Amino acid sequence: MERQNHTLLTLFFLHGLAAYPDFHFVFFLMSLIMYIIILLGNSFLITISILDSHLHTPMYFFLSNLSFLDICYTSASVPLILVNFISGRNNISFVGCGVQMFFSLGLGSTECVLLTVMAYDRYVAICRPLRYPVIMNKWLCGWMAANSWMTGGLNSLVQTILAMGLPFCGNNVIDYLTCEILAVWKLACIDISLNKIIMLISNVIFLVIPVVLIFISYSFILFTILRINSVTGRQKAFSTCSAHLTVVIIYYGSILFMYMKPKSKDSHGTDELIALFYAVVIPMLNPIIYSLRNKDVKEAVKKLSKNIFSQGT
């Protein structure tokens, strides 16, 4: 049998969006603007949730977790993407690649679980309103949030160790914007069946099951809302979950479009543009959606602005 020449790599080269070299500055400018909006918008939501006592509820506790997650998720990849766009030095160390893969995959998995937890919170708030304070107590909220982070981190740790432990046969060019796990797999020179099995199990746990649970939660929510006689009551009930439902549809819709659309030889550049959209646009939209469609946040902003203005005068 022939022995394959396994090479110890210390550096990877990211070859993402190579099909659009003339647009790199445009991509840089757009990504930079959106990254700044992500940092400011999500930091604003976290700050307002802490400062306003009326927002010290389970819903805004989970929303603060989501905002912090979005900041971390984009910060794991976007700064390097910006540097690569403007400098043309598309290299990343082996360790840096592993770290980026761990945080990107871990935070993405965590968001799937967190969105499911938020759907359960909305289910209890609308379908069990009298028992809501008892069921969604501080201990349970903290436990669910902590488990979202821990399960996402554990999933990422296992998959990152398996991926970065693969032998690479000298090819160190990753045909992607970041150290995305599927792109790194292509550099391996051994069978990756174990990695694929673990990924399949992970997809069931972090994609299929959350989607099913969210669908069940909103089925009960819809059934409960339709039973409300008052039109005002229906509108108020729907407004409490419309922002979360919008975020869920955008988030999972993007994932399904990315990974389930038919592949073609000429679609790689388009796939990378979609991945860039997924990395920066969705985290940017989250605080905008929750701010524009939420009366509590608007009232908190007015109160905070009034306090700041009165102190200034």
Q: Is residue 21 part of a domain?
A: yes
Q: Is residue 88 part of a domain?
A: yes
Q: Is residue 4 part of a domain?
A: no
Residues near 63 by beta carbon (within 8 Å), at least 6 away in sequence: 45, 49, 118, 290
Q: Is residue 2 part of a domain?
A: no
Burial (CB count within 10 angstroms: exposed 0-12, middle 13-18, buried 19+), residue 237: buried
**CA angle, 38 then 39 then 42, to 5°:** 75
Q: Is residue 312 part of a domain?
A: no
Q: Is residue 108 part of a domain?
A: yes
150-202 tens-digit pLDDT: 999 999 999 999 998 888 876 788 878 888 888 888 888 888 899 999 999 99
Q: Is residue 5 part of a domain?
A: no
51-62 tens-digit pLDDT: 888 888 999 999
Which CATH number belongs to the domain containing residue 216 in this structure? 1.20.1070.10
Q: Is residue 313 part of a domain?
A: no
**CA angle, 211 then 56 then 119, to 5°:** 10
Q: Are 115 and 248 in contact (CB under 8 A)?
A: yes
**Residue 187 belongs to what domain range?**
11-304
Pick the more confident residue, 103 or 85.
103
Does pTM surpass 0.85?
Answer: yes
230-265 tens-digit pLDDT: 877 788 778 778 888 888 888 888 777 766 665 555
The yes-or-no verdict on residue 312 having pLDDT over 60 is no
